[in-house]
Structure 1
Amino acid sequence: MAGKDSRRSRTTHQKTAAARARARAEEDADGGGGFGKWVKRLFLWGAVLALLATVFVGIAVAFAARSLPSFYQLRATQNGQTIVVRARDGSEIAELGPNFGQWLDSSQIPETMKEAMVAVEDRRFYMHPGVDPLGLMRAVYVAMTGDKRVSATSTITQQLARNVFLNNNRSLDRKLREGILALALEAKFTKAQILELYLNKVYFGGGAYGIDSASRTFFSHPGTELSIPEAAIIAGMVKAPSHYSPTADVDAAIGRAGVVLGLMRDQGYITASEAQIDPSTVKLKAAKAQNSVRYFTDWALPQLDVLLPVTSEPIEVWTTIDPGMQQAATAAVKANAPKGSQGALVSMDRDGAVLALVGGTDYVETNYNRAVTAQRQPGSAWKLFVYLAALEAGYKPEDRVVDTPVTIDGWTPRNSSGRNVGETNLRTAFAYSINTVAAQLGNEVGFGTVASMARRFGITTPVSTYPSMVLGSNEVRLIDMVRAFAAVSAKGQSVEPYGIVKVTSASGEVLYQHERSRPIQLVPDYVAAGITDLLQTAVNTGTGRAAQIGRPVAGKTGTTSSNKDGYFVGFSSGITTGVWMGRDDSRVVPGLQGGTAPARAFAAYMRYAVKDRPVTQFETELTLPEWQIEPDDEAMFGNPDDYYFVDEQGNLIERGRDDGVGDAGGTDEVGNSRDQPGFDDALGGGQQPARPQPGRGQDMPQAASDDFLDRATGSAPVQPRTPPRPQPTGTQPPR
């Protein structure tokens, strides 16, 4: 029995050993144990995933091909929206969007044009199915061994898919969609159809979409007549239209054409002798000068996104620009800007229509729009708001002030002359831009009040309230300053700048018509008259004498520290114009002052601008309200709607509001937008709501006490004490 067990044990052991030997042999055959097993598994899974990916791509391509528009539908789609811009007189000043060009059938396109495009953009176009595997592998290899970027992988078919259906975002998702659509296009259309679509839709720069438009734009003849060097120039633009277009850089375009000719020779499309043709001998069409009117269109046309519903149909935009004034403005800025500096000019009519807008001395050199984008210090031109606040607080042009050294919160302003003249009047202090007087006035009325006044008159940039702000240390936009001065010219009424009068469709349908908004009285008439008096004196006898044009002009100069900025803003005969000059890098411009180059440019332009307008005199007679000219005890309160009030922060309070809330667009003490209270105690009276005021809601808090109103109107005996003076201007008592 024991022998049997022993034999069984030996037999079992032998079987186990044999199994282990077979397992080791299998492992050796698999390449060494578990590693070989994982390699095998990875290979199998990779094959499965590749098969699934192929099936997925095939399904995606099939669905995409079914949903693609037909060839004739794609032919009918527009390349972009054509916009014709017209001036005030109806003349055409610009055409934006696609230039004119006809669709060329494949049979009409010169073979040299097709060959040039294939040679430079997709040499294996006739061999791949829409995506070039060799090109893709080459790009991946370059990315792995070079600059880590996948590039140069788009075939002509992929470019067509991107141009027609997608955008230019550099993302993996967009690239995958592009590949699927390219495969679908190849599945649905022939190579000839794809090349025809591409050559008629690709953008070549200069507003030219398609080879016929490009040929007419750059060579003044149809695309059916393209020569070999002309085809090479056009084909070379596709890579970078903004760089290789002849309208951008002629030398770069010709150099790129030489590269295209070399590729055509290497691929057997042309002979060596044909490749030697000098592209510089091609007669290019004279490019239309990119004049300064583009500064205006760059400002006005983006407003169409707000004014119009989304549309791709051709439109005509009728604008406010006056071609003669624009030309005069351009010449005035160029002729007077100091060497190495820039200049800008904005001119508005009395209703806010922009008549001329120049954003720099040369649009081709730089299209940065200094008239509406740049924020620069206005210098003493900012004193407009200081003196407006002072006049509203009760000052008059004849009031005596003292030019004396002053220190405010550690800040000591100095006059540009380096001396003080002592006692003078408000008119003279403004005319000669005396800094110490402006500082005292700002301190007296409150720097928050000055900031609020600037906001009220249309300054949109941030406004700080530190003491030196009274001398123009806050940065502003030129167009905002012109808007503020235009409101003064309009006798204190608000002015909204606009550049688009109407927009019509190709059929003549009016899509938009400008309607002037109801103006708001920003300050009382007597304040507008008083500041006009000061502005006129500044030109007649003060720092703005260079702006005289032989008829009444009112304006103000501005010069910043170290002569970095020069400003002049003024008006005459209903036209308000502002000029800024300086360097983009804010470096010193020797000799630059607001009363020199900017004032001279203003005068040069305005002589032309007002030549056909009647001479108009300014209304500077101060018709003061009774509270300023009558004894306190006899002052009549009158109708509240006859006045415009500010709260304790100097913010404008609208008249005629029935809800007890002031202008929601008011500003706080630092010029920031906030809600305002109603009249409250702006007049220094009580808060009893018993007495309703004409034109106001019955629940409106009463501005003045019953006791004061009875005494002011003679309804009650006058008490021996002196009553408080009604203050329609807020915090500061009148002088």
Structure 2
Amino acid sequence: MPRNAPRDARGDLPRRSGATTARRGGSGGGRGGGKRRRSILGRLVYAGMLVGLWAVIGVAGLVAYHASQLPPIDQLAVPKRPPNIAILASDGSLLANRGETGGRVVSIKELPPYLPRAFVAIEDRRFYGHWGVDPLGIARAVAQNITRRGVSQGGSTLTQQLAKNLFLTPERSASRKIQEAILALWLEHKYSKDEILELYLNRVYFGAGAYGVEAAAQRYFGKPAKSVTLAEAAMLGGLVQAPSRLAPNRNLPAAQARAAQVLAAMQELGFASPQDTKLALAQPARPAGSRGGGSANYVADLVMDVLDDFVGKFETDIVVQTTVDPALQATAEKALTDTLNANGARYNVGQGALVSMRPDGAIRALIGGRDYAQSQFNRATTAKRQPGSSFKPFVYLAAVERGATPETVRDDAPIRIGNWQPENYSHRYEGPVTLRTALALSLNTVAVRLGQEVGAKAVVQTAQRLGISSPLQANGSIALGTSEVTPLEMVGAYSSFANGGNAVIPYVVASVKGVDGKPLYKRGEAGLGRVVDPNAVGMMNAMMHEVFVIGTAKKGDIPGWELAGKTGTSQDFRDAWFIGYSGSLVTGVWLGNDDGEPTKKASGGNLPVDIWKSYMSVALKGQTPVPLPGLNRWRRAPETTASVASGGGPGGLLGALLGEPQPAAAPPPRPVQPRQPSRQGGDDRNFFEKLFGL
């Protein structure tokens, strides 16, 4: 175009020819199309970035919202674990755990290495590699759950599980999962991996009321967590997935199958050698039976009832040392349950209790019922029942303290008090008899006469002085044991005879310590002091010794030991008692039915004596015999003993018993001549005259 070519009104050059314009237009159209394609791709990238940004903002907002529902981070703290009360036997072995957790806190250092590794292997194999939340673990769990067409694995890490246990409710929701992840991140920031794992092992639930691995090991295997085997560790590790379904005491096959999966995972990760794994699979773990059949729980319940008397409020684990001997506890339970299993139905006896203590009141064994799993009611400490003739020693002691002696004579003859006319079980009467014989053979009329002589109020006061705390009715029938008492009270009161006349308060707690070993309580040596004169104790021991020689507990005698005691049977055979003692151990047995239904002639002289002897024969075995205080001074001469046992003298009756078996007869030697009682109800002859019945 010429340089001076005309321009249009806007000063622009005129357009070219149509062909040229078309070409340019075609070429320009191609360039315009490329720009449009680049714009669409850019827009997609831009849109993707924008969506991603909004997604991040949305997630951040969602996290921020759920985080705002939690306490401020600077105020977060791991909540204190409820304190555990470890109740130990006298030898330091564990009797039971009490408290909300069921076991003490353990450190990871005291556990065998394979125990915590079992949980890592099956629950969170990348535990030491992630930072609280494991995306790979979640992806793997989702993939496996899809391919297996069911929920077989969860994506929560151990840290997330701990966060849920510590801070959140069991609710399953997206909100809870977000909060769980937030808290897991905080835990990972706050604590080391081993600290997190230790917290987890002490907080996770294992079923059956067991929180923490120590409680679970004790609950299922009867041993501390530090002593579990590899097979047991694998079973515990697999248990947390579904404690109710996999509990070995409920579903052992399922628990063992799950443990096998844990062992396979441990071997795969190098946590267990092939040889150890093979052995554990060949000898799978099995739950241990309850030690003592669970009767130690009666002891634990008693400890919890009295613990507040010794320690105040505590926020950390404590250890209570008791006076109970675990071997004697097991022996006592076996004696009671074996006898009831063999003869309970025959005698219509459904329940029983046994209390055994040292003469100073230290409880060595306590059985509160036939089966703790079936009934937690503690009949040894709580059930109040009529003691029957086992109450008579308090009547006789009141008489002895007012001048009577074992050779004092009273009439065994009908007696009436108002409209009440007590009788001997056999409806027979033997006439004048010595108190020694009357108590040994449990004659009702003599006991009632003595009660009338000394007064019902004196009988009540005597029983209370020796430790009976239940309300007692001061009436004529008190002499036959019609006021209700507990077995623990009766055994405690009899202890005064075994220890020479000192009152005792039965006790089971010897000491209490914190987990750090700091003493919180220790029982002192001081007792309640003397409440019975030594001479009176000797006479009572001599009379109750005759119960084993000629009386209602003759079959309970243990050769080589000086023993004393008294049987008791309440009206209509509703209660059967026997309380007997040596110089080193006092033991009482009660049998009956919780609803008061009469037994089929179960009396103090049959089943209770059987249980007592079965237990005491083991309890005293190997010990040096301890003499009964004052017995030798007031012991009956051998020929006199034989005479009474034969039935040849006035003290030799074989039938006037209140529901109690007759003593066996022996060849009749020279009879004993009775002596009429003095006006004061005592005996003013010298010791040798008393001894030989002159």
For residues 358-377 of structure 1, what are the alpha-carbon distances to aligned partners after superposition, in whole Å with 9 as ceiling and x for unaligned?
A: 22333344333222222222
Q: List aligned pairs for 1:454-465, cutoff 5 A.
A: 454-465=463-474
Deviation at 1:592, TM superposition (A): 1.2
Deviation at 1:222, TM superposition (A): 8.2
Deviation at 1:431, TM superposition (A): 1.3
Contact 1:579 1:602 in 2 (8 A): yes
Deviation at 1:252, TM superposition (A): 13
Paired letter, 1:467: G
Q: Are 1:366 and 2:386 matched, yes or no? A: no
Q: Residues of 2 paired with 1:364 and 1:253: CA distance?
A: 24
Q: Are 1:575 and 2:577 matched, yes or no? A: no
Q: List aligned pairs for 1:121-270, cutoff 5 A.
A: 160-161=166-167, 189=183, 201-206=203-208, 208-210=210-212, 214=216, 234-237=240-243, 246=247, 249-250=250-251
Q: Residues of 2 paired with 1:379 and 1:162: CA distance?
A: 58
Deviation at 1:588, TM superposition (A): 2.8
Aligned equivalent of 1:692: none
Unaligned 5+ residue runs, structure 2? 1-64, 109-115, 126-136, 189-195, 222-227, 259-281, 635-678, 683-694
Contact 1:212 1:222 in 2 (8 A): no
For residues 326-354 of structure 1, what are the alpha-carbon distances to aligned partners after superposition, in whole Å with 9 as ceiling and x for unaligned?
A: 23322322333332432222111122111
Q: Are 1:287 and 2:293 matched, yes or no? A: no
CA RMSD, Structure 1 to Structure 2 (Å): 4.8
Q: Residues of 1 paired with 2:491 and 2:574: CA distance?
A: 20
Q: Residues of 1 paired with 2:681 and 2:121: CA distance?
A: 82
For residues 117-137 of structure 1, what are the alpha-carbon distances to aligned partners after superposition, in whole Å with 9 as ceiling and x for unaligned?
A: 99999x9999xxx9xxxxxxx
For residues 196-237 of structure 1, what are the alpha-carbon distances to aligned partners after superposition, in whole Å with 9 as ceiling and x for unaligned?
A: 98896353334632479758965967899879x985x64444
Q: 1:329 aligns with which of 314, 327, 332?
A: 332
Deviation at 1:594, TM superposition (A): 0.5
Change (3 A) 1:384 1:205: farther
Paired letter, 2:368: G
Q: 1:593 aligns with which of 569, 593, 603?
A: 603
Deviation at 1:602, TM superposition (A): 1.5
Change (3 A) 1:191 1:419: farther
Q: List aligned pairs for 1:674-693, cutoff 5 A.
A: none
Q: Residues of 2 paired with 1:215 and 1:325: CA distance?
A: 24
Change (3 A) 1:301 1:363: same
Change (3 A) 1:355 1:284: same
Q: 1:381 aligns with which of 386, 390, 402?
A: 390
Paired letter, 2:627: T
Q: List aligned pairs for 1:166-565, cutoff 5 A.
A: 189=183, 201-206=203-208, 208-210=210-212, 214=216, 234-237=240-243, 246=247, 249-250=250-251, 285-291=286-292, 292-337=295-340, 338-340=343-345, 341-550=350-559, 551-565=561-575
Q: Residues of 2 paired with 1:317 and 1:511: CA distance?
A: 10
Q: Residues of 1 paired with 2:164 and 2:237: CA distance?
A: 25
Secondary structure (helix, strand or coil) at the match of 2:531 reads coil
Which protein has greater RCO, CA pairs closer than 8 Å, 6+ apart?
2
Contact 1:388 1:453 in 2 (8 A): yes
Aligned equivalent of 2:76: 69
Secondary structure (helix, strand or coil) at the match of 2:344 reads coil
Q: Residues of 2 paired with 1:252 and 1:302: CA distance?
A: 39
Q: Residues of 2 paired with 1:284 and 1:569: CA distance?
A: 43
Contact 2:381 2:487 in 1 (8 A): yes
Change (3 A) 1:218 1:450: closer
Q: Residues of 1 paired with 2:358 and 2:122: CA distance?
A: 53
Paired letter, 2:334: A
Secondary structure (helix, strand or coil) at the match of 2:383 reads coil
Contact 2:407 2:435 in 1 (8 A): yes
Q: Residues of 1 paired with 2:168 and 2:458: CA distance?
A: 56
Q: Residues of 1 paired with 2:417 and 2:74: CA distance?
A: 74
Deviation at 1:491, TM superposition (A): 2.1
Q: Structure 1-normalised TM-score?
A: 0.57
Deviation at 1:504, TM superposition (A): 3.4
Q: Residues of 2 paired with 1:527 and 1:212: CA distance?
A: 53
Q: How many residues align?
A: 497
Change (3 A) 1:318 1:101: closer
Paired letter, 1:286: P
Q: Residues of 1 paired with 2:610 and 2:449: CA distance?
A: 31
Q: Residues of 1 paired with 2:166 and 2:585: CA distance?
A: 51
Q: Residues of 2 paired with 1:184 and 1:412: CA distance?
A: 82
Change (3 A) 1:597 1:92: same
Q: Structure 2-normalised TM-score?
A: 0.60
Change (3 A) 1:334 1:355: same
Contact 1:218 1:284 in 2 (8 A): no
Aligned equivalent of 1:13: none
Contact 1:565 1:593 in 2 (8 A): yes
Q: Residues of 2 paired with 1:310 and 1:214: CA distance?
A: 26
Q: Residues of 1 paired with 2:472 and 2:249: CA distance?
A: 40
Between structure 1 and structure 2, the one with the greater Rg is 2
Q: 1:614 aligns with which of 617, 625, 631?
A: 625
Change (3 A) 1:60 1:435: farther
Contact 2:514 2:520 in 1 (8 A): yes
Aligned equivalent of 2:62: none
Contact 1:204 1:245 in 2 (8 A): no
Percent identity over the alignment?
31
Change (3 A) 1:359 1:248: farther
Secondary structure (helix, strand or coil) at the match of 2:545 reads helix
Q: Residues of 2 paired with 1:572 and 1:212: CA distance?
A: 40
Secondary structure (helix, strand or coil) at the match of 2:302 reads helix
Deviation at 1:320, TM superposition (A): 1.8
